Amino acid sequence: MGKLTREQEVYKRWANARKPKPPLVRNTIAAFLVGGLICTIGQIILNFFLSLGMNLKEAGGPTAAVMIFLGALLTGLGVYDRIGKFAGAGSVVPITGFANSIVAPALEFKREGYVMGVGARMFNIAGPVLVYGMATAWLVGLFYWLVHK
């Protein structure tokens, strides 16, 4: 391999600048933008409840409930899964994604009936999240009690 001619060097720089970005970068940016946007909507809702005179702690639950409603509704309308194709984790990680993880499998398995279809499948992903989340918080609490009480 000899030295590149001036022309080849120019071409190499030109080509490198136009190489398709690896999907990792694209995916991360998409997740950042959509996730950030969903949280900004959450902040608007949070500020609304704060403006009603609630304190920060009281406003947390109602804000989560409204976001869950929006996530569930958009899933029912078939919109949330289309956002998810573009946004990846940006639509999965916010609590709207938790609502989506409940409604999407419940809808899909509706034909298997309301007990073993809807009732059981809605916890496909929400189940593990609740099981391990509650167990972790319980253990943190036990540790806190042992240390402080």
Question: Looking only at residues 49 through 68 of this chain, which bind other proteins when binding is defined by CB under 8 A?
Answer: 57, 60-65, 67-68
116 near other proteins (CB under 8 A): no
Which residue from 48, 54, 76, 120 is in contact with other proteins, where contact means CB under 8 A?
76
Tell whether the torsion through CA atoms of 51, 57, 61 and 66 is positive or negative.
positive
120 near other proteins (CB under 8 A): no
Which residue from 1, 15, 24, 115 is in contact with other proteins, where contact means CB under 8 A?
24
In the three-class reduction of DSSP (H, G, I as helix; E, B as strand; rest coil), residue 9 is classed as helix
**Total site size for other proteins, rule CB under 8 A:** 79
CA distance 99 to 70: 8
CA distance 76 to 31: 22
CB 122, min distance to other proteins, A: 6
Which residue from 54, 73, 86, 120 is in contact with other proteins, where contact means CB under 8 A?
73
CA distance 24 to 67: 28
Half-sphere exposure of 142 (CA within 13 A, CB side): 6
Our CB check for other proteins shows the closer of 11 and 69 to be 69
